[in-house]
Amino acid sequence: MNRIDLAGRTAIVTGAVKGIGRAITAHLQAAGAQIIAWDIDADGLAAMADTVAGHTVVDIADGGQVRAAVETAVNAYGRLDILINNAGIVGPPTPALDYPEDAWRQVVDIDLTGTFLCCQTVAPQMVAAGYGRIVNIASIAGKEGTPMLAAYSAAKAGVIAFTKVLGRELAETGVIANCVAPAAIETDMAHNQDPEVLRLMIEKNPMKRLGTVDEVARMTAWLASADCSFSTGAVFDLSGGRAGH
């Protein structure tokens, strides 16, 4: 694999315990970054303790918890160079007109508001230092709209739009913000979907397969590096040819 140099960098990865987040954590570590793993899964974080020194139980939809976790991270490590907003949920596969209000709010709170809160709290630390890399994990659903996943599609569309705003607002600060928009990726989250929904996702993909967590992690690692220097507010598709715009 290409060598990404993140030596001396400190990175927060949200949703770090499983799937894409776990792969991103491993790739950033391999590149030399010091990881602070955030997740709501306390047992999962404890199981990572031997390989990831920094870990904090955080509900990213709770602004108070996010602010407390950032304060803890700054006190412990002195600097925050990288933020990977990966934590998210899909929600129940339900037609939009029947979508439960409580499920809608939960998906939007975690996937969109959680990303906003993490950026709003971490980015000022980066601006003060004159350097930072923010990578938000969005989804092809946020560009196309996936039937039966109205809340997830809407939240990820919000993540894409928010990233564009953040990238433009911070463009002269040394802080770069981009997002990755994967199609369906080989994770437990994907396989927990309705089989018909998953089949349609694969069928739409010209490569006729799921992406891998390592493919997401490799793109994310580059976006988190100093080599990514003239792209900000951008959406990087990872869709096997599915994305058309």
Supply the pLDDT for residue 207. Answer: 87
Supply the pLDDT for residue 170. Answer: 98
Report which of 55, 64, 49 is spatially closest to residue 11, judged by C-alpha positions. Answer: 55
Q: Which single residue is written with the structure tokens 């809608």?
A: 104
Supply the pLDDT for residue 208. Answer: 85
Compute how many other C-beta atoms are within 10 angstroms of the C-beta atom of residue 200: 16
The winner for highest mean pLDDT among 2-6, 57-61, 237-241 is 57-61
The whole-number average pLDDT for the span 144-170 is: 96
Supply the pLDDT for residue 245. Answer: 58
Compare 200 and 125 and report the one with higher pLDDT: 125
pLDDT digits (tens, 9 = 90+) for 179-223: 999 998 888 777 776 787 778 778 878 888 888 999 999 999 999
Average pLDDT, the chain: 94
Query: Quick one: CA dihedral 111, 114, 117, 123, positive or negative?
Result: negative
Compare 244 and 189 and report the one with higher pLDDT: 189
Residue 1, pLDDT > 80, answer no
Supply the pLDDT for residue 146. Answer: 87
Give the rounded percent of residues in the chain with a pLDDT score beyond 90: 81
Residue 244, pLDDT > 70, answer no
Give the rounded percent of residues in the chain with a pLDDT score beyond 70: 97
pLDDT digits (tens, 9 = 90+) for 12-71: 999 999 999 999 999 999 999 999 999 999 999 999 999 998 999 999 999 999 999 999
Please give the structure tokens belonging to residue 84.
Answer: 């990977």
Task: Give the residue numbers marked as catalytic.
Answer: 152
Supply the pLDDT for residue 209. Answer: 87
pLDDT digits (tens, 9 = 90+) for 63-120: 999 999 999 999 999 999 999 999 999 999 899 999 999 999 999 999 999 999 999 9
Alpha-helix runs per DSSP H in the chain: 19-30, 42-47, 63-77, 101-108, 114-129, 141-144, 150-169, 188-191, 195-204, 213-223
What element of type H or E holds 226?
none
